[in-house]
Structure 1
Amino acid sequence: MSAMPIRRIAATLLHPLRAAQARIDAWVMARVKRQPGPIAIPRHRVYILPTRFGAGFTLMLLVMLLGAMNYSNSMAFLLTFLLAGLGLVGMHHTHANLVNLQLRAGVARPLFAGETAQVEVRIDNPSLQPRLSIALAWPRAAATPEAVADLPAQDGALLTLTLPAPRRGWLRAGVFGVSTEYPLGLFHAWTWAELDTALLVFPQPAPPGRLPPGTAGHGSLDAGQRPGQDEFSGLRAYQRGDTARAIHWKSLPKSPQPLVKQFHETLDQDLWLDWSALPQLDTEARLSQLTRWVLDAETLQQRYGLRLPGHVIAPGLGDAHRFQCLKALALHGAEA
């Protein structure tokens, strides 16, 4: 017999409730479909098993029942059946605590690669009874759920689950669990759901410091003017070394000293962030550097455009333009 079946048998014997829940989860999660929401939790999709305390409670009742039968003690029988009835009523309320709750996707806020995504889930309680201790968690999460809330009658709550975002592109939230152990903690009721939630992950910005190249016709983060031959910018006093062609001869009769024509070459005030300006970097490093330049240009309020292979975004400024550029960088080379 191989090691894997032995481990499964050992896990089943040592943790029977956990093994049973794992088998139910595997069967259910294979049938969970992504839905846009709202998702109503039907009664037949709520699963329930005893907790560790519930298993201990059941064992205690068996011992009490054996003692009552051995001594034929009516009061012991009464106490045993009273506690058993209390446990059954608690099981009913635990199961009903999840039924007909509605799940909706919250705001999917974009983020940068390497950050932690905040996945928002809105839980609404349409019934006239409050629903207490409703918990959300990812599959195979720690024993402590990530988010817990009490839902007033005909009201709801916004819960947040965290999810790492290591890479750029679309990040699907995936399947999450909704559970409760209210009111007695003797039973664990749960179900699985998947909302059609996707968060846009921008490339991780490169460290600040590197400036985009600024040339004639292409802006720079320090754009301005420099000496050249393009545009006439005024007259200045003659200096030794100036050529005769530069002297403004028409002003000689009116000026005590010769004046020289001065020209400047104007750098384009629109900054172009160009993919081809970083030939020495690989794809991800280029996207990271272009992301940094987008953020810097927006901070300095410098109009900028973006040139990517097969995609050009005209110069602009503002939150909408920033998002358009960062989205293009995030989805470069991938399907939107």
Structure 2
Amino acid sequence: MPEKNPEIANELLRWYDSNARDLPWRAAPHSNSANPYHVWLSEIMLQQTTVAAVKPYFAKFTEQWPDIAALAAAKEEDVLAAWAGLGYYARARNLVKCARQIMAEHDGVFPSTEQALRTLPGIGDYTAAAIAAIAFGQRAVVVDANVERVVARLYCVDEPLPNARKAIRSLTDGITPQSRSGDFAQAMMDLGSSVCWAREAQCAICPLQPYCQAGQADMALRYPVKKPKKAKPVRQGSAYWIEKQGAIWLVKRRDDAMLGGMRALPDNGWRARNDGDISPPLNGPWSDIGDPVIHHFTHFTIHLQLKAYQGSVESMEAVIGQNSGEWWPVETLEAAGLPTLFAKAAKIGQQQLGRLL
């Protein structure tokens, strides 16, 4: 590990004071007024998600649930519906669990240490460090994808990710200052998002260019080193459009399933590891509606064919009445909070069946 170089932090913080992004959950540089609830909420939302995508969701959440007490009192199904389209729905379920635990065990006050924060649902090492540093001003080593890229280039880390993460964290520890740790973490994130891009390194305007080994060698784009990606498997599935008197039949997905707890169209049991093989909820006839929806999850791609029920209302009611679910007006289907995959399929149903919103 190289010797600690305080000038890296000093130079970066000088740059941050003039170039910090104006984000709705962020306090100004040198400020000690960061709202822990806002920091936590934004960090959970930003996992695997872009800032641009998160902004409207953050605004909606903080308007509907302005503090931890309000979120703790919310119904999980309402939170999941508000989260619809943001993906990785376990994050939304953990938001509610975490809020309730903070109310029950910490009198509604966020714990301020990494160790205590890690005991809360949905908060891992990175999120605990980010909250401790940004919301509470503690020295913590905060490493996200942007920081990984910046540090890998600063020190020409040749070991491929993810194995390189231990070394990158150690190197980040070596340049994290004792004071303004939160500003430093956010400065590193901003540098990675606005200057040290994955596919383009703007070394000429980078405040850390004099210290960057990869930049000095004109090979920044070589880092971080990544292992070749494996091809994603493709799964085949079906979703079922069952309509009666202008309403569509929706079910709640099992809590232990993908997209658990969300409202959705019934499906044939597709999973990340297998194609759908469960019989339709009603005996036919069924007809294919439009082309399959192609949707990419982290570890696989699903081709989901929408099928519409063409049988009699009497046959439908005899079976549907025995299953749990709800009739939802087609005209207000967007308000059901369907996850993106099923929202895409529902849109095809609305369009193909002459009910375009």
Q: TM-score range by the shorter chain?
A: under 0.3
Q: Which has the higher helix share?
A: 2
The structure with the largest alpha-carbon Rg is 1
Q: TM-score when scaled to structure 1? A: 0.19
Q: Which has the higher strand share?
A: 1
Q: TM-score when scaled to structure 2? A: 0.18
